[in-house]
Structure 1
Amino acid sequence: MNDQLTFDELRAYQSGRLSGPARHRVERLLLENPFYADALAGLEAMQKTATNVSSGTMAEQMADLRDALHQRIHESANKKRLWPLWIATTTAAILFMLAMAIYFIFFAPKYSVKPKPAVPAKTTVFQTKPANSIDQPFSVYNPS
């Protein structure tokens, strides 16, 4: 089931040009969705204003409203208004980098450099000559 209303359907409902089932569908959607009820109220208020002002058709009024909205958006987005945004963004970036530097300097876990394993020193010791050995030096581990 189609649960969306168009502007044309709202206008047709308001003017009474819808058939029974279509009218029932629009009324059900107006009751279920407050957005559509507000849109219908706005349409009625806009038509009431249009009959009081009688400045043109509904399409012309909507075009005027659209142009006024675009002009207001364009005026509000000037450099003077955007300047505080740049200041806030730059300040936030600097504070973030400062906080990270403080964390890494003072609070980050410190990893000590592991010393290289010491190679045991080899010393040459001469032994007195037993009767069955040859004069050969041999290595003995000296822990000092």
Structure 2
Amino acid sequence: MNDHLTFDDLRAYQAGRLSGPARHRVERLLLEDPFYADALSGLEAMQQAATPTSEQLADLRNALKDRIHASATKKRLWPLWIATTTAAILFMLAMAIYFIFFAPKQPPQPLKPARPATTQSTHQVSMDQFRG
């Protein structure tokens, strides 16, 4: 069942152009949903005003656009470069904290002193001299 009302449905209901079941559906939706009841009240108020409905709808759309543009001022929008710089700084800070506190620490490997080859050969020669 269609549980949505359009502007044309409300105008037809108000003008009395709906059949019995359609009228009952509109009345049920008006009782169940306060949004539709407010819309019908607004439609009645618009018709009591001197301007035609299409002009009033255009005025409402323009007022809504102006309100949206006024609320989206540059003060409230965060520039992209601030967001990316903040993200980069937070990333670098997190990496620094990880490497300082949580990274596995390996002790430096001691360097083995290399023996010069000449010392070894003279050592062997001198040992040969003692044996023989």
Q: How far apart, in 2, do the equivalents of 1:94 and 1:42 lie?
A: 51
Q: Give the aligned residue type for 2:8.
A: D
Query: How many corresponding residue pairs?
Result: 107
Query: Structure 1: 5+ residue runs without aligned partners?
Result: 116-144
Which residue in the other structure is 1:103 paired with? 97
Structure 2 counterpart of 1:68, from 54, 63, 73: 63
Which residue in the other structure is 2:23 paired with? 23
Q: TM-score, normalised by structure 2?
A: 0.62
Following TM superposition, by how much is the alpha carbon of 1:70 offset from its aligned partner in structure 2, in angstroms?
Answer: 2.0
1:2 aligns to what SS in structure 2?
Answer: coil
Following TM superposition, by how much is the alpha carbon of 1:90 offset from its aligned partner in structure 2, in angstroms?
Answer: 5.1
Following TM superposition, by how much is the alpha carbon of 1:41 offset from its aligned partner in structure 2, in angstroms?
Answer: 2.3
* Higher fraction of strand: 1
Following TM superposition, by how much is the alpha carbon of 1:109 offset from its aligned partner in structure 2, in angstroms?
Answer: 4.1
Which residue in the other structure is 2:118 paired with? none
Following TM superposition, by how much is the alpha carbon of 1:78 offset from its aligned partner in structure 2, in angstroms?
Answer: 4.3
Q: TM-score, normalised by structure 1?
A: 0.57
Which residue in the other structure is 1:57 paired with? 52
Q: Give the aligned residue type for 1:104.
A: Y
Following TM superposition, by how much is the alpha carbon of 1:96 offset from its aligned partner in structure 2, in angstroms?
Answer: 2.6
Identity of aligned residues (%): 60
Q: How far apart, in 2, do the equivalents of 1:92 and 1:45 lie?
A: 51
CA RMSD between the two structures = 2.9
Q: Give the aligned residue type for 1:63.
A: A
* Higher fraction of helix: 2
Instruction: Work out whether 1:47 is the aligned partner of 2:47.
Output: yes
